[in-house]
Amino acid sequence: MNDIEKYEFDRLGYLVLPALLGADEVTRLARAIDELEAHALARVAEPPRKKSAWGPEYHANAEKGYFVSGERKEGSTLIIEDFFNADPAFDFLVNHPQTMDYIGGIVQERPTINNSEVRIRYKGNQSGTHMGGPITGKYRYSYNAKGIDCMMVRMIYFTHDVSPEDGPFCVVPATHKSSLVSPYGTTDADAEPGMLSLPVKAGDAILFTENLRHGGRSIRSGRTRKTLHVGYGPFWMKSQNIATMDEEQSILAGTLARYTPEQRALFRSW
């Protein structure tokens, strides 16, 4: 992470990273996402169920080690958490050198992965706006004598282009530093003043602090939007997936067996 990127991340709360992934990597990931979507849609209503501490109920898939909730219909989302267990095609994103260079630049304690989700958003869907303003605890942004000191941050990887009509990720820049809570009284990502859409190309990624006010614009094009979201933070932070909130990371023995020691350390919370 160079000095300009650090300056911009500190100033705005996010970075758009063009072509972080190569064309072959994008193709492999897109195929794995499509296969996982089909597998999860066929099972989303089945037992066994897992009730999240935050409310929603998930299907817990023992075979592939993921948790899924949602449905495929206009206006809806399908969220597949702990996707790293599901397919070795995702393995190269664990300890991905360019990603870890950015994470090392903004998380001061030993970083681990605390969140992994495939987010599949169907026509008309929107991700409501959340965060921004004064935040303490596990989602806060701060700066100290050693530099940027983030708690939870997220990297979003894009395996297809997302135009302004395709429900782009969106942010209210610099709200990670705001002393005030948003006064607009809305979580509608299309309506909130100051909201900026971030259209991207396949292979791009977006890095942001969870403290930043963010969401996803409504999909007006009719195209389904599919993204990979990976959360990082200090090692002591437990899972930030909704299904397993604040539990140990849900990583299968078979997944860890595929990994190098460096990859395994990214799921160790001690």
Closer to ligand AKG by Cβ: residue 190 or 265: 190
Contact 118, 37 (CB under 8 A): yes
Options 141, 214, 226, 230; binder of ligand AKG; rule CB under 6 A: 214
| CA distance linking residue 173 with residue 224, whole number of Å | 26
In the numeric block, which tokens belong to residue 107?
Answer: 């998380």
Residue least distant from ligand AKG (Cβ): 216
Residues 127-156 that bind ligand AKG (CB under 6 A): 127, 154
Residues 225-264 that bind ligand AKG (CB under 6 A): 227, 229
| CA distance linking residue 132 with residue 181, whole number of Å | 7
* Binding-residue pattern over the window 19 to 48 for ligand AKG, x denoting contact by CB under 6 A: ------------------------------
Q: How many residues bind ligand AKG (CB under 6 A)?
A: 9
Closer to ligand AKG by Cβ: residue 119 or 176: 119
Closer to ligand AKG by Cβ: residue 241 or 255: 241
> Pick from 76, 162, 154, 167: which is nearest to 68 by CA?
76
Closer to ligand AKG by Cβ: residue 44 or 170: 170
- Does residue 213 belong to the site contacting ligand AKG (CB under 6 A)? no
Q: Minimum CB separation from ligand AKG for residue 163, in Å?
A: 14
Closer to ligand AKG by Cβ: residue 77 or 142: 77
- Does residue 215 belong to the site contacting ligand AKG (CB under 6 A)? yes
Q: Minimum CB separation from ligand AKG for residue 270, in Å?
A: 26
Complete DSSP assignment for 72-102: SSTT-EEEEE-GGGT-GGGGGGTT-HHHHHH
- Does residue 96 belong to the site contacting ligand AKG (CB under 6 A)? no
Q: Minimum CB separation from ligand AKG for residue 58, in Å?
A: 17
Measured between alpha carbons, how far is residue 184 from residues 113, 173, 193 in Å?
A: 33, 15, 8
Stretch that binds ligand AKG, among 33-41, 42-50, 101-109, 209-217 (CB under 6 A): 209-217
Options 111, 132, 216, 234; binder of ligand AKG; rule CB under 6 A: 216
| CA distance linking residue 15 with residue 158, whole number of Å | 14
> Pick from 30, 93, 130, 147: which is nearest to 259 by CA?
93
Closer to ligand AKG by Cβ: residue 238 or 264: 238
In angstroms and rounded to an integer, the radius of gyration of the C-alpha atoms of the chain is: 17
Complete DSSP assignment for 36-82: HHHHHHTTTTSSSEEE-TTS-EEEEETTTTEEEEE-SSTT-EEEEE-
**What's the residue count for the chain?**
270
How many CB atoms within 10 Å of residue 218? 17
- Does residue 169 belong to the site contacting ligand AKG (CB under 6 A)? yes
End-to-end CA distance of the chain: give it in Å, rounded.
26
Q: Minimum CB separation from ligand AKG for residue 47, in Å?
A: 28
Query: Where on the chain is the footprint of ligand AKG (CB under 6 A)?
Result: 119, 127, 154, 169, 214-216, 227, 229
